[in-house]
Chain A
């Protein structure tokens, strides 16, 4: 009972967040799902090209982390980052992703 009340209150509040934030959340879920699929595959098949597994897995995890940071900077309800414009946040996000994917493909082998 209490659980369904919590979930109801949460979803009501969540619907009020801006579209931008909700889209970022969708991509976050996508990244977690991809990471979970890779992990299940590794459990089944074994760790043979371990560097490839780590590269794929950490590309998902790194993307997740960077998108969380972008969401934090862009969410209007978050007062800590009031001085940073969304464009600046996005520019930082792009640079970080560039470095992440460079490292991922180098390690993929």
Chain B
């Protein structure tokens, strides 16, 4: 509903901008006949240029890999109850899929099976026990006249527009299972966090006590992980948040009737997950002495140098210059001697001018950029730094004049002594 007016120009843009073949997505549903429930979600993906194939999870002809090539670019698992996969897909194949740089979007619900929970655990996400649901007695929604305390409508959307889209006025509706990630996780981000008044509980079992009970803002409803090879995995605790019913729903939250932001949220997050948004490509790394254009083999201490790199952000297949102020360059030999942010010129060229420190050795340029939502940039380049040659030292320093004067005076003294010694009677 929110995305509809944007679809047509985006489709045209995608058609103009996409130079490579469209990305193919394999969707596995518990029952392939239920594909209509997600018709708007798949329709939006197809509008953005993805080639979506929907199959059943127990289909015996399933395969991700054939003769060493991957047949799909992205995998969507909308089958939370399944214990295993049909055909030639299994847990190890999916892990190899991610290790080779491809992406996975997983949706679970309260009936999530052990194998699905273990797969999520492989990506660092700890999903709560089977049968547990997320409850919230303060931020829940009323749908079609029925008040449901497991229908969460007050989740906190992470403030990373490249991952989930712009500020949303409407809530994202969620009904499903809770997960947690470690507080110091470097690769995982909570894309949709539960409101602070929520908790996770399995109604048929006794209530746990914190800290084993997952509560409040430590619950992650939708988690986004970007692996070190830049492959992305999104695990959503609610399969229903991708359905047409939730996209179109009009719910009442705390007495206020509102639409939902599910359509825009899930489609943007899916595009991020499939590396259609927020992909950075760094290229053309170069460095030179100020006043010269060629790349030297190395520097001398106290040289003035400039370092440049081009960074491009690829959005929907269209590259555009990246603009950020926090890409940091380090000039390291065991410890960073220089550590400063690069300045960009608006055209995607990031540069820094600095003076080589007064220490000789083998240094390296090091960029390690990990801004939330963007792919990682890791660049290194080794450069040797030599000391002064014997004729490059400063000479005739003013502060050394007394020493020059004394040596000269001693020579004059020696000359006078010679005169006196030889010629006096």
**Same complex:** yes
**A interface residues, Cβ below 8 angstroms from B:** 19-20, 23-24, 27, 30-31, 34-35, 37-38, 41, 45, 48-49, 52-53, 55-57, 59-60, 63, 67, 90, 94, 97, 101, 104-105, 108-109
In the bound complex, residues from chain B placing their C-beta under 8 Å from that of A37 are: 402, 406
Are B424 and A34 in contact, with the CB atoms below 8 A? Answer: no
Closest 9 CB pairs of A and B: A56-B403, A52-B400, A52-B403, A49-B400, A59-B407, A56-B406, A59-B410, A63-B410, A34-B406
In the bound complex, residues from chain B placing their C-beta under 8 Å from that of A57 are: 403, 406
Q: Is B409 an interface residue (CB 8 A)?
A: yes
Contact check: which of A90, A97, A104 meets B422 at CB < 8 Å? A90
In the bound complex, residues from chain B placing their C-beta under 8 Å from that of A67 are: 417
Are B417 and A56 in contact, with the CB atoms below 8 A? Answer: no
Proximity string of chain B (395-425) to chain A, C-beta cutoff 8 Å, 1 when within and 0 when not: 1010110111011011101100110111010
Contact check: which of A23, A56, A59, A109 meets B395 at CB < 8 Å? A109
In the bound complex, residues from chain A placing their C-beta under 8 Å from that of B397 are: 48-49, 52
Closest B-chain residue to A41, C-beta based? Answer: B402
In the bound complex, residues from chain A placing their C-beta under 8 Å from that of B67 are: none
Are A56 and B402 in contact, with the CB atoms below 8 A? Answer: yes
In the bound complex, residues from chain B placing their C-beta under 8 Å from that of A45 are: 399
Q: Is B393 an interface residue (CB 8 A)?
A: yes
* Chief secondary structure at chain A's binding surface: helix
Shortest distance between the CB of B395 and any CB in chain A (Å): 6
Are B413 and A31 in contact, with the CB atoms below 8 A? Answer: yes
Are B407 and A97 in contact, with the CB atoms below 8 A? Answer: no
Are B406 and A27 in contact, with the CB atoms below 8 A? Answer: no
Contact check: which of B395, B400, B406 meets A60 at CB < 8 Å? B406
Closest A-chain residue to B403, C-beta based? Answer: A56
Q: In the complex, A108 Cα to B407 Cα: how many Å?
A: 9
Closest A-chain residue to B402, C-beta based? Answer: A41
Of B400, B409, B418, most buried by chain A (CB within 10 Å of CB) is B400
In the bound complex, residues from chain B placing their C-beta under 8 Å from that of A109 are: 393, 395
A-B contact pairs, 7 of them (CB 8 A): A31-B413, A34-B409, A49-B397, A63-B414, A90-B418, A101-B411, A105-B407
Closest B-chain residue to A89, C-beta based? Answer: B421
In the bound complex, residues from chain A placing their C-beta under 8 Å from that of B418 are: 90, 94
Shortest distance between the CB of B396 and any CB in chain A (Å): 9
Are B421 and A90 in contact, with the CB atoms below 8 A? Answer: yes
In the bound complex, residues from chain B placing their C-beta under 8 Å from that of A23 are: 417, 420-421, 424
Are B399 and A56 in contact, with the CB atoms below 8 A? Answer: no
In the bound complex, residues from chain A placing their C-beta under 8 Å from that of B400 are: 48-49, 52-53, 108
Are B404 and A63 in contact, with the CB atoms below 8 A? Answer: no
Q: In the complex, A91 Cα to B420 Cα: how many Å?
A: 14
Shortest distance between the CB of B419 and any CB in chain A (Å): 11
Q: In the complex, A49 Cα to B394 Cα: how many Å?
A: 10
19 extra interchain contacts, Cβ-Cβ under 8 A, other than A53-B400, A67-B417, A101-B407? A20-B421, A23-B420, A27-B413, A30-B413, A37-B406, A38-B402, A45-B399, A48-B397, A48-B399, A49-B400, A52-B400, A56-B402, A56-B403, A56-B404, A63-B413, A63-B414, A90-B418, A94-B418, A101-B411
